[in-house]
Structure 1
Amino acid sequence: MSLPVDAGSFDLSLLGWDDSLAAELPEGTTPARVARVDRGAAEVIAATGQYQVQYSAQVRRAAAADPLALPCVGDWAALRALPEGRHELVALLPRRTAFVRGGVSRDSRGGLSGDGQGQVLAANVDVVFVAEPAMHATDLADLGRVERLVALTWESGGTPVVVITKTDLLHLGLDDLLDDVRGAAPGVDVHAVSAMNGEGVDEVRGHLSGAKTAVVLGPSGAGKSTLVNAMAGAEVMETQQVRAGDGRGRHTTVHRELIPLPGGGLVIDTPGIRRVGLYEMSDGVDLVFSDIEALAQGCRFADCGHQSEPGCAVLAAVDSGELAERRLASWHKLQREAAWMAARTDARLRSEQTRKWKIIHKEMRRTGRNRP
């Protein structure tokens, strides 16, 4: 898709450019915002137009050393003009927010595996629309997936908004479903949306104003592109129907892409995500499970793990029906994953530090600098 940028006339403040970003811009470079990334190159929007740019050697080295340094959609970048008339991306400006997923997958035995490294899905995002279909195949909305994405959103620095899509397909039980979703995301705005008939779209669109940026995240088939089109009031993203037979969505969107919306605001559409691992959690899980954190204040032991300890107020709440057993099981699962990812990250950092010292010592022995 070609963004509506006229050469020499685009106001970058409409994309969120301000004085604090300008203060970070390296001397002799031009600012631009990354609208799309594809195979070592980026499509960016600058004041003078829209460009395809390659990465400088410095940017490539930084990304090779740390995947989080790889340019992604939403980044603000510094461009340098090349003699032949092209532009090169030479630096990324500091990110205000970053939605990062961990490199976590399931191994053949059903356990967690991964390299402890993360991937930035979107940068400098103000709002994260967690899109979850009211029905996916033959199942209702996945509350565990909502909890996971909301936890990552809080950790990113953005504001989560849960959007239950395709509500026109659920003829009974919508109110109960929305109550369950609100219980899974305490304190988060939850909207019921049918992009096909326009219900709820204005409420979702109301979270964007001025130059705010949102990203839409959710599984394939959640209707993310349809929602983006509804907010834009035009067919800006290609859509497809859910596959017949298994009810699963097709991967229509294959790139993350920044879309300026008429009337202000920007939205990043994303491909469907099957699994999103946690990454360097601090407060995200606690915020999602604030109800469990509140109940835990009544536990006999301050370090209660809510497993089988005597005097556990959380287990008592499960027994009484005040807290859903599914909710506590989800808390345990995310706590274990967050601890596992932290351990993997620490191990990777220790390994990198050891490798660096081995290189230093090897060089010292080679040059004889360690001799008296």
Structure 2
Amino acid sequence: MTTPGHDLLSLGWNESLAADLPGGTVPARVARVDRGVADVIAADGHHNAQYAARLRRATVDDPVALPCVGDWAALTLLPEGRYELDAILPRRTAFVRGGVRRVSRGGLSGDSQGQVLAANVDVVFVAEPALHATDFADLGRIERLLALAWESGGRPVVLITKSDLVGEHLDGLLADVAAAAPGVDLHAVSSISGEGVEVVRGHLEGSRTAVILGASGAGKSTLVNALAGEEVMETQQVRAGDGRGRHTTVHRELIPLAAGGLVIDTPGIRRVGLYEMSQGVDMVFADIEELAEGCRFDDCVHESEPGCAVLSAVESGELPERRLESWYKLQREAAWMARRTDARLRSEQTRKWKIIHKSMRGKGRP
């Protein structure tokens, strides 16, 4: 995937990362992960690095701490000449989804926890396909991905892919999506005709890293190939009759581009749960937050309160009812996730204290 001449600076290496690198280790960027082994790019090329035992132990109860695509890793050169992935350097940004089922050591299904889809990402491309004139964009999916994008620390950008398929209906589609993505750059893109590809490339100047997220058939891999100027990801033809692409990508992979910048291609996402939301939902629904400033009560939840400016906006047609329903849904999910996370942290803390007390009793202490 890479070409000769790639150096660490072109992959995003900087002085801040260098300050966190443990002594005696070599820096590398994670390009792909697969069951305890990572494909990494170091100054001397690609390597398959197995996880060190201490890293496996440290991450057994915390999937979010596992190495992921985009991470910067510290490698240790072993006597036999191979590299071992010793540690993950602090992440600048991380795109984390919730709702991932963790399997316990006994083989039984455990708690749902977070999963990092990409790390150290500057731009999050949310790809939604324009299939044909009678289809509507999945605005709820766009809003959900944008919430996670804002929360990640990266800058979200919405891409309406396969724009050549909608013809004169494109302007209306873009208007609908723009209303669901306030404050976010929005571009129509056709990897076939080339429309918008250079605009997208402009978001990847220098050593910026982007991740492309979206459902199967959104044209993510085709866009990666268009950005790379060559076929670096396998693609398939759209299905006859519905214009949808088949699911092709089965893993996340970091692709350095010859013209500069890096892009992470991802498999189609079927379910995207929120995870430890702070301001992500509020950023997506900035229009509702602005309207809420006119509510009579500061604690208005926009359901049946008198003097609710948000409900008034729905009644007048200023705010689509669909948008408010989506806000309700994501707010409830974010609140539920926060409660569950608090309960899990309390449970873990209790377990740790039980272990400490048991150890103290074993030493004859009261």
Whether the aligned pair in 2 keeps the contact of 1:10 and 1:48 (CA below 8 Å) is no
Shift of 1:136: 7.8
State the match for 1:144 in structure 2. Answer: 140
State the match for 1:257 in structure 2. Answer: 253
Q: Which runs of 5+ in 2 are unaligned?
A: 102-108
Shift of 1:364: 2.2
State the match for 1:25 in structure 2. Answer: 21
State the match for 1:359 in structure 2. Answer: 355
Taking the TM superposition and a 5 Å limit, the aligned residue runs for 1:221-370 are 221-244=217-240, 248-370=244-366
Q: Percent identity?
A: 77
Whether the aligned pair in 1 keeps the contact of 2:238 and 2:244 (CA below 8 Å) is yes
Whether the aligned pair in 2 keeps the contact of 1:138 and 1:247 (CA below 8 Å) is no
User: What SS class does the counterpart of residue 277 from structure 1 fall into?
Assistant: coil
Q: Distance in 2 between matches of 1:138 and 1:34?
A: 41
Tell whether 2:70 aligns with 1:74. Answer: yes
TM-score normalised by structure 1 residue count: 0.93
TM-score normalised by structure 2 residue count: 0.94
Whether the aligned pair in 1 keeps the contact of 2:133 and 2:167 (CA below 8 Å) is no
State the match for 1:11 in structure 2. Answer: 7
Q: Distance in 1 between matches of 2:339 and 2:110?
A: 12
Q: Distance in 2 between matches of 1:244 and 1:114?
A: 41
State the match for 2:203 in structure 1. Answer: 207
Q: What letter matches 1:186 in structure 2?
A: P
User: What SS class does the counterpart of residue 204 from structure 2 fall into?
Assistant: coil
- The Cα RMSD (Å) is 1.8
Greater shift, 14-23 or 354-363, is seen at 354-363
Q: 1:334 to 1:291 in 2, by over 3 A?
A: same
Q: Which of residues 127, 146, 161 is equivalent to 1:165?
A: 161
Shift of 1:247: 5.7
Q: Which of residues 98, 122, 134 is equivalent to 2:130?
A: 134
Shift of 1:355: 1.1
User: What SS class does the counterpart of residue 335 from structure 1 fall into?
Assistant: helix
Instruction: Spell out, residue by residue over 1:117-136, the C-alpha distance to the aligned partner (whole angstroms, 9 max, x if none).
Output: 20000000000110000128
Greater shift, 152-161 or 237-246, is seen at 237-246
The number of residues matched between the two structures is 359
State the match for 1:108 in structure 2. Answer: none
Q: Distance in 1 between matches of 2:110 and 2:248?
A: 27
State the match for 2:193 in structure 1. Answer: 197
Q: Distance in 2 between matches of 1:138 and 1:65?
A: 46
State the match for 2:120 in structure 1. Answer: 124
User: What SS class does the counterpart of residue 341 from structure 2 fall into?
Assistant: helix
Tell whether 2:36 aligns with 1:37. Answer: no
Tell whether 2:114 aligns with 1:115. Answer: no
Shift of 1:223: 0.2
Q: Which runs of 5+ in 1 are unaligned?
A: 106-112
Q: What letter matches 2:162 in structure 1?
A: K
Shift of 1:20: 1.0
